Amino acid sequence: MIKKIFLIASCVVYATLRCIAQSSSSFDKEYVLAKEIIGASRFKVFLNYNNLKIFIGTAYGNIQYGPKGLVTFIHESSHIYDNIKSAGMRDMRYYWSDSNQLLEVRVTPNYITSDSIASILPDYVTNKPLTQTYILCKGDCLSRSYGIFGLLEEFNAYSLEARSLVDMFGFFETCSYTNRPTFWEGYLKSTYDSWINFYYFNIFFSTYLKYASMQRRGFYNSLVNDGHFTNTFSQIYNKYNEALTALDSINRKVRVKVSSGNKKIYSYPFMEDYNSIRALAEDNETKLYLSMLLKK
Ligand SMILES: [Zn+2]
């Protein structure tokens, strides 16, 4: 009897150890690969923050299922970088753009906080998660409390996601670990998220300008006539736009690699959101206000 209990106990211990050993070795492989990918890219400066493991170590960030963990790491690290650069600068804000390029804006006094525009946002976006997160967020979130300068911080971080998807495509294609259908399904999903985020922020910026033109004419005039601001805004906007155009042609190659077809990725609710938000972003009024922020 004593022997039997001992045997059962050892089996349990053995099974548990084996399980941990398996997940640990898979995680190490993912982490080494992630470090290699980031280290070879223009984003390698972000490895200094030592937070890569956080984004790779969850099912959400698992590279086996796509680059979501990698692009989220780049997005969040750019916030750390910008916040360090901008710390203590009350009237300046910095945005990481490249390994040797930092963009800057002068913060216009008496700017409008982003929650002010909620009442005139198009109905379709009012209760959407991105609106809740960036326009109506509680607490001291930059995208709300810092108005258009905080929204630009988020827009820049999302543009880096799209640019990294373009940059890293060659690596993913030549790496046997990532060049397989489960990875490419995740990659396609990330590229479509990039488009959706771009459209949402187009609407946020344009509504912000519309609100400013109606309610705060002085601030509106100083913003659209600030060549420094429109130059920085245009650079971020154009780089994001260029990356999305590049992703469109990359995606034609990627779709061939996804054996399960488009059904799984492009579900009906997803496509409905994509089409609705795109129609709003391409609306004449949205384009008109957005054009005021672009370099003349
Ligand atoms: Zn962010």
Q: Tell me which of 8-12, 42-46, 169-173 is least confident.
A: 8-12
At 292 the three-state DSSP class reads coil
123 CA distance to ligand 1 middle (Å): 24
Q: Tell me which of 83-97, 257-271, 277-291 is least confident.
A: 257-271
76 CA distance to ligand 1 middle (Å): 6
158 CA distance to ligand 1 middle (Å): 7
What's the pLDDT at 24? 47
Bigger pLDDT: 267 vs 160? 160
141 CA distance to ligand 1 middle (Å): 10
151 CA distance to ligand 1 middle (Å): 9
What's the pLDDT at 199? 97
85 CA distance to ligand 1 middle (Å): 16
Condensed to tens digits (0 to 9), the pLDDT of residues 16-74 reads 333 333 344 577 888 889 999 999 999 999 999 988 988 887 767 889 899 999 999 99
Condensed to tens digits (0 to 9), the pLDDT of residues 177-215 reads 888 888 999 999 999 999 999 999 999 999 999 999 999
Distance CA 222, CA 110 (A): 11
157 CA distance to ligand 1 middle (Å): 6
207 CA distance to ligand 1 middle (Å): 20
Distance CA 200, CA 193 (A): 10
The mean pLDDT of 236-244, rounded to a whole number, is 98
81 CA distance to ligand 1 middle (Å): 12
Contacts with 31 (C-beta within 8 Å, 6 or more apart), sequence order: 52, 53, 56, 57
The mean pLDDT of 157-176, rounded to a whole number, is 94
What's the pLDDT at 243? 98
The answer for 103, left when phi > 0, alpha when psi is -120 to 50, beta otherwise, is beta
Q: Tell me which of 3-7, 178-182, 238-242, 279-283 is least confident.
A: 3-7
Q: Which two tokens stand for residue 175?
A: 């790496």
Please say if the pLDDT value at position 8 is more than 60.
no
261 CA distance to ligand 1 middle (Å): 31
150 CA distance to ligand 1 middle (Å): 10
What's the pLDDT at 58? 73
Condensed to tens digits (0 to 9), the pLDDT of residues 105-162 reads 999 989 999 999 999 999 999 999 999 999 999 888 999 999 999 999 999 999 999 9
17 CA distance to ligand 1 middle (Å): 38
Distance CA 39, CA 47 (A): 7
What's the pLDDT at 6? 42
No. of helices (H) and no. of strands (E), the chain:
12, 2
201 CA distance to ligand 1 middle (Å): 12
75 CA distance to ligand 1 middle (Å): 6
Q: How many CB atoms lie under 10 A from the CB of residue 44? A: 13
